[in-house]
Amino acid sequence: MEVRKILLEKIDLLEGICGIKIATANDRLTLSGIEEKHKIENSFMFDFWYDVKNQYKELRNLIVEEKTLNNIAFYSYEENMEYIRSLFQNIPGIKILRTAHIVLKIMNEEVSKKLV
């Protein structure tokens, strides 16, 4: 099964979970900007997150349209992080780069086929 299809299935499982922020390569907010805002507020505030439904729709569109994504980062309440991590572990073509917040490296399809 191709990486893109697996990724879409996993993202569907996350949709609607409160307190998840997804950052992609095309985000207006940079990862450092997200981290800085978090430090200032010193807590996860709901307005810190994008509208979840719109955010997932945008992410799905990027994946379906096969636009290049260097990585996708998930920020979340701590209790959600293990669940997010478990969804993406051991999938050929997807590599977890960091775990404090989860950054997924979406590898080239040709590379991922060699890993199967």
Query: At 47, which amino acid appears?
Result: D
DSSP letter at 1 equals: -
Q: Is the pLDDT of residue 29 over 60?
A: no
pTM over 0.75: no
- Helix, strand, or coil (residue 21): strand
Write the pLDDT tens digit of every residue in 13-23.
Answer: 887 776 677 77
Contact indicator for 33, 21 with CB cutoff of 8 Å: no
Write the pLDDT tens digit of every residue in 63-93.
Answer: 777 665 667 777 777 778 888 889 888 888 7
Cα torsion angle, 98, 5, 107, 112, sign: positive
Residues 16-39: b if buried by 16+ CB within 10 A, e if exposed: eeebbbbbbeebeeeeeebeeebe
Number of domains the chain is built from: 1
Q: Concatenated DSSP letters for 59-112?
A: HHHHHHTT---SEEEEEE-HHHHHHHHHHHTT-TTEEEEETTTEEEEE--HHHH
What CATH number is attached to the domain comprising 97?
Answer: 3.30.1240
The mean pLDDT value for 49-65 works out to 69
Distance between CA atoms of 16 and 24, rounded to whole angstroms?
18
Domain enclosing residue 68, as ranges: 3-115
